[in-house]
Structure 1
């Protein structure tokens, strides 16, 4: 029985060893490798070889294979003629990382030598390529499909250099205070292997995650592309980025150098853009503009200035007419140039007396009158209006458009209104029409700057009778509480001391909506005027002696001494006064 066990065990060992040999159990050198495929260059791709950068490389890559038990795989890339079978390849080399990588980098010189070995005098050579994988066993695996590529054989080449300014990860500040100063992009020269070929440069600027296939800007360098620099003023750079609606952000740039036969791109650099202090004027011109005289208002050298209030916001008060040709107008950044005009487009909102016309022009739709022109390209709005209104819960108008209180134009791009304003409710705003469209309020974080872009409510700190002004020369507003008095040689205080007047309520303790001040006093023959807050900054007189008051107008004559009841009415419909002799 023991012998039987001994023979059985020996027979088992013999069978095990025999099977292990069949399965290469004691060695991983013969383990199976999975099939794999080539990736790029894809079949029928073209490769441009540049002998100006002979040591730069082009990557060939493929999907990696694996051994059954994870043994190391060594790859070899092979090239052959279009009708070859790789039995005697024209060129072969191990892949990167001593053959372990699924990428093989071939230099331009290697590819050029390969191509010229097939067609020494031709422009291109067509070759096939494949990859073999070897894990140390006799079982070498090749890629499932071969790829065909077309390689240029031109001896022309173009070297690359480096970008020098702005440097990588630098800060590009485009400053409105340096509008006329130059900001210059520079780089090293590229050299052609053919000395008779001119090298031209194109500066490409793209968003930081772009690949320059569709750059934000593509600009020839100075001297029609021949110089290795690009010169622009701060203002020119600002206009360039602003046209694409960039005011800040991360960008990258490169240079594309080209000859008639080849082009190269320099290694890119990143810069961070910021623009500051860009408040630029614009000009208005066209048949609708009254102050441009003649049969046509399209005289660019007579275009009228609109003040810069903030970046991309301009305003002014302009005299308009509707009786010349089509009453059209347009805006331009320079008085002497038709370039870069602001066109009427579908993307703009039109508020008040304007609408979109033909050929990018605006059409004036109002009467012959002075209008506020407020060009807000930041908010994509253009406002032209001959009225502005005060509205708000703190005024008698509340939110009722029909009761909105009209301002009065007093010259020098300034409007004013007098109103009783309270601290209750939500405050007040200004409107260009009797609607909420395009309303002005305070700019966030300021106390006097108006804006149409996310405007904040204005408020007062105490109830009172206020003079509110809006100045479209600088885009400011002022709300000043006023108390009124009578002064002059006919009063007891002469020209030195006011006699205080009293604001009349509409009813018991209801002052919203009242505009009337009153005083009963003795006067001698002489002269009087009305003034606010015991000062001369805001005063009224009667220039034409017709009962209508003008800001800073002439003295009012008192011809006869006596006791008078005098009323000052600062109604938006018209500023008037009355004098009734009691005895």
Structure 2
């Protein structure tokens, strides 16, 4: 019996030596592939900064070729469903286990399998038994969930404005540029970066923020006038006040967000003189001048503004929020009287634009049924307005819609009789100017556009805001 076994073994050896490198055979019908013991299929590993130096071990039951051969084991991993087309080699050994650090495993998955950092990577593992001249024996595949680790990168660093600096805004420098600049963020993974510039009142931990702009560049400039609007309007600060303001830069990719450190500086807001106004008390609000809406002075004896009437009403214009001064009633269509004993004007429900000349004693009341966006940035081009929605509580018209690179203006009732442009074509917040230049949309995207015709309170002008979502 022993002689028979020896003869069988030598015949196998001779057969192996007779084969070329490209012709591998099985030495026995009774062979078994390696069997992975650890890790088990379906197990998960979360890689963190704290466990990078820990060991990660793969163990298996050895392959059996039916004869005693020198066997080398390769531990291979690949991403799911790649059928080990281009696997990474965890290790090679003649033992029944391989140990690497978790950091080494993380590097293999990131570098050789091209998986992203800080995401769940579905990978597969197998053991390949190899011996010279015979066919490989391959274990079953073990599926693993590995949450990779990567240093997110370096956040942006603000270089302008300087910390503790001050910007004073007055009528003489409204069009001057307020410049912001920063060193670029560095991310561990490639991708497009968008920078969002946020401002807040110091000490509020950015509970309420004003978005000064979004850009893919490392700088942004807005006008002093726009800055004043953001601080007074969005952040609710007073005029002619030194406002301690904080600014930060948020760098965003599709997978990661990095935040700069906060820079504090002072904004001395504009001392905006309140314009003359006319109050509009009437039956719609109980004939109480002190709580009535207003229209604002736009020139000598000239007043202009928009008012919404939820229902038909009679009303008057008053020079003060009381009945003790001049009040203007109805003389005839388009004509006013200072005779306080005369009736008020009658108006149907709706949204109206008023013009009043208190010297000539004339008025105009034009009903506006809609405001809309117009221009090459909109779906209707210069031909058809994109309607906005009126909010009577906020007294604003607004819309959230997709816009493309191009020009943007605002007009009423899909017509050019009432249309507004902007003072600064690059300022995303500022005053509306009748029949002025269009705003310049610089990037395709989704935007929220808000028009406010509440001119009886700060900032005492019709204004707009364009927010890139």
Instruction: Tell me the TM-score normalised to structure 1 length.
Output: 0.30
Instruction: Tell me the TM-score normalised to structure 2 length.
Output: 0.37
Larger RCO (CA within 8 A; separation ≥ 6): 2
More strand per residue: 2
Larger CA Rg, structure 1 vs 2: 1
